[in-house]
Each structure stands twice: as C-alpha cells, then as structure tokens.
Amino acid sequence: MPTVLITGGHAGIGFECAKQLASRSRCDLVLAGRSVERMEPAAQQLRTSYGVKVTTLKLDTSSLVSVREAAAEFRTLLDSGNVAPLDTLLCNAGGRHNGPTTYSPDGYETTFATNCLGHFLLVELLVDRMADAGRIVFTASGTHDPDTMDGKMVGKAVEPDAIALENDGKDGKKPLSAGVRYSTSKLCTMLYAYELHRRLRRADGSIASIAFDPGSIPETGLLRTMPKPVQWLAKTALMKGLMKRIGVTQGSVSFSGASLAQIAVDPIYGDASGKYLQSNDGALNETRSSKMSYDEQRAAKLWNDSKTLVRLQPSEESTQLR
C-alpha cells in the first residue's frame, strides 16, 4: 500500500486530497500538522469512511525544532514498520499572514518560515527515506507570477532573497505587505521545486519533484486572517465571476483536491518531475511558471541560503547523496 504524507492534510485542499486518496487509491495516509486536536477528527473521519490507515504527525512548519522532531518521529515509524515506505510527500501546508509582522521561534518572518523554510528542511530530512520513483509535490500558487492576474491581485512577488525575506520588517523599514510576502513565498516554492528536480537528476535519483497550483479557492482557510467582510465577499458568486473574467486562475476545493491526489499517485504523472501543473476551471494542465522561477542562479542561491538558515548539517544533505 503506498504511503502519502500530507502537510496540512486535515483542512482545505489537503483534506480533500486526503479523502480522494483514501477513497480511490486506498493509500496509507500520514497527516502532518501543528495541532493534534485539529488533525485527529479528520484522521478519524478518513479511517471510518474509507477504512484506510491514517497516522497523525505533529509538525509546525514554522519551527525548525518541530520539523526536526517530526522528521525523526517519521523515521522511527518507518524503521518500526508502523508506516510503509514513503511514496509521496505533499508539501501542502501554508498560510497568508495578515496583521502585524510576526516571527517564527527561530526569528524568521512567519510567512517565509511557514511556507518555505519548514518544507525545505522537511524535504532534506526525508528524501533519502522515500521509495524509488517517489514523488515530492509542492503546493505553490499562481500568485508567484507577477505577470499574471493572480500575482497582480495579491501583490507582485519581489526578489526571492532568503536573507531579506527572513529579516523583513526588522530593519525599521516598511515591511512587505502580507500579499507580497505570500506571493514571494510561492515564488520561492517554485524555485525549490525546480532546483530539487535538477539536484535529484544530477544525482541520478528516481524521485520526482513537481510544483502544483490549485487555483484560487476562497472557501478554504487561507484567507482567515483577512477582515471578515473581505472573506465573505471573496466567496460570493459575483466576486468569483469577476475574478474569472479578469483572468484569475479558478480552483475549487473538490477539483483542486482531486488534482493534487492525482499528481500524488496517478501513473500518468510519473514523468512530471520539474513540471508546473495548474488546476484551472475544471482542468489540470501543465503550464509555464513565471520567468524568474526558471532562473537557476537565483534558485541555487535561495537553496544555499536556506541551508544556512535551517542550519542543515553536511551529513543531512539528502539531495546530495542520491
């Protein structure tokens, strides 16, 4: 039975994906998230409805200690046979953080820590434990591309400079807006996905690294830190129709969750490494990402700076070993 680990698998797109995987592919699932209280009811629902094995793993992607503890616990589960070899790792958890700038327990700006550094470290700590021809899928976002309507609406992504991003707001200068921090974190996610693909190929690895855009879905918890009237308005048919007309990528919880599940396990995505797949208006297609996302020099710099920030030890560099 394949095992799929989903960060943020108890809510929104991640939970819909988990349901699809449980019902269609009957995968063993590992839901990874920061609150056992929020994960356990979702895990129980999956067990009861589909009879699949579901394990919960405590993981706060904004905390390096938590990521290390989660990776160690997951390795123990693998070693003891309590979890079958890992076929797919879905780096899906993420957030947009409106309000005053906050920092992670490690002192890094929260959006960058949560959406970028936590998954970067998790991947490095787990990739050597993945089954052959396994898949790592990063939930990115069309907002990463400043030339698209998605990117313009949220706030155009800025330079994906890890050091500047983790320090955002610390130097007394005006911090980036929550929207720009979010879109830039997704640009970094794209750069990680492509750089991981190149590194794995250079090391003759069989693991795939894929980027996914679910499209805009106001029904999930993503907008939860925005003012209530904005959240309400975003869900109205009028606003959705307007967004569609101006060219914003249209997702839905059901279609985008099902798309993520397909990318996770469907053989037709077996050769999707290094690709960007987008769900838009009921279709899942490969598409071009932003110009900057293909910049290999920027990707290598982001990767190396991220290694420093997560204090990765040379012996932990799984992507070098395969």
Ligand X SMILES: NC(=O)c1ccc[n+]([C@@H]2O[C@H](COP(=O)([O-])OP(=O)(O)OC[C@H]3O[C@@H](n4cnc5c(N)ncnc54)[C@H](OP(=O)(O)O)[C@@H]3O)[C@@H](O)[C@H]2O)c1
Piece in contact with ligand X (CB under 6 A), picked from 88-96, 200-208, 279-287, 302-310: 88-96
Q: Which residues contact 131 (CB under 8 A, 6 or more apart)?
A: 2, 85, 86, 87
Q: Applying CB under 6 A, does 243 fall inside the site for ligand X?
A: no
Q: Applying CB under 6 A, does 34 fall inside the site for ligand X?
A: yes
Active site residue 192: no
Of the listed 182, 192, 194, 269, which one is catalytic? 182
- Chosen residue from 2, 8, 179, 205 binding ligand X by CB under 6 A: 8
Q: Applying CB under 6 A, does 94 fall inside the site for ligand X?
A: yes
Size of the site for ligand X (CB under 6 A): 28
Nearer to ligand X (CB atom), residue 131 or residue 153? 153
Nearer to ligand X (CB atom), residue 153 or residue 158? 153
Q: How far is the CB of 206 from ligand X (least distance, A)?
A: 26
Q: Applying CB under 6 A, does 38 fall inside the site for ligand X?
A: yes
Q: Which residues contact 150 (CB under 8 A, 6 or more apart)?
A: 141, 142, 143, 216, 248, 249
CA atoms within 13 A on the CB side of 160: 34
In this structure, what is the dihedral angle of CA atoms 209, 213, 217, 222, given to the nearest 10 degrees?
Answer: 50
Q: Look at residues 218, 215, 242, 243 and name the one whose alpha carbon lies nearest to residue 228.
A: 218
CA distances (Å), origin 212, targets 5, 100, 109 = 16, 29, 24
Residues 276 and 144: their CA atoms lie apart, in Å, by 12
Residues in contact with ligand X, shown as a per-residue x/- string from 199 to 238 under the rule CB under 6 A: ---------------x-xx--xxx----------------
Q: CA angle, corner 312, sides to 33 and 85, nearest 5?
A: 50
Q: How far is the CB of 138 from ligand X (least distance, A)?
A: 9
Piece in contact with ligand X (CB under 6 A), picked from 46-54, 60-68, 270-278, 294-302: 60-68
Residues 38 and 64: their CA atoms lie apart, in Å, by 21
Residues 238 and 6: their CA atoms lie apart, in Å, by 33
Nearer to ligand X (CB atom), residue 25 or residue 141? 141
Q: CB nearest ligand X: which residue?
A: 12
What tokens appear for 30 in the block?
Answer: 């590992």
DSSP class of 298: H
Residues in contact with ligand X, shown as a per-residue x/- string from 283 to 312 under the rule CB under 6 A: ------------------------------
- Chosen residue from 43, 54, 70, 93 binding ligand X by CB under 6 A: 93
Piece in contact with ligand X (CB under 6 A), picked from 28-36, 119-127, 128-136, 288-296: 28-36
Catalytic residues, by residue number, are 182
